[in-house]
Structure 1
Amino acid sequence: MAAGRQDRERRSFRRWFHDTFDDLGFRALIGPAQTRGAIQGCDQPAREQWKHDLENRRRYSREQRERRRTGHQEQQSR
């Protein structure tokens, strides 16, 4: 019984270790993310699509915030 628990703990630690440090090592090798000028190298239709997609994401986020806000208000009024 103790051996089974130790195996589970070892597997969970191994999973945590790789999830944490493998990604960290990869990010250290490739360097920091470059976002300045990321869209400048593409053509005009792609740039417009990117702007359209960004606005859709912002709209979705606004709608989600509004839903949460109205949900909290309804719970508080009860």
Structure 2
Amino acid sequence: MSKFSNWFHQTFDDWAFRSLIGPAQTKGAVQGCDEHAREQWKRDLENRKRITREQRARRKAAR
């Protein structure tokens, strides 16, 4: 596969798929699950947000 073809598929195939499914939403994302699964999902989401905040703070401090 050529470099251009490889780049094109890596860039636009994912973009096309994300365009079809729409924006990411978290409201009601885990409805229908049991309570334990919902709580684990909330903890995971908070951990991801915490890591993002820490990375942002490190980048800001590095400037």
TM normalised by structure 1 equals 0.56
**Which amino acid is 1:56 matched to?**
N
Which structure would you say has the larger RCO, counting Cα contacts within 8 Å and 6 or more residues apart?
A: 2
**Which amino acid is 1:59 matched to?**
R
Residue in structure 1 matched with residue 7 of structure 2 by the alignment: 16
2:54 and 2:47 map into 1 onto residues whose CA distance is 10
> Are 2:27 and 1:57 aligned?
no
- Deviation string 1:1-45 (CA, Å, 9 cap, x unpaired) is xxxxxxxxx712322343345442xx38xx424735221121100
Larger radius of gyration: 1
Residue in structure 2 matched with residue 75 of structure 1 by the alignment: none
Residue in structure 2 matched with residue 6 of structure 1 by the alignment: none
SS of the equivalent of 2:32 reads coil
Structure 2: give runs of 5+ residues left out of the alignment. Answer: none
> Are 2:35 and 1:44 aligned?
yes
2:13 and 2:28 map into 1 onto residues whose CA distance is 28
Give the aligned CA root-mean-square deviation in angstroms. 2.5
2:55 and 2:12 map into 1 onto residues whose CA distance is 33
Structure 1: give runs of 5+ residues left out of the alignment. Answer: 1-9, 73-78
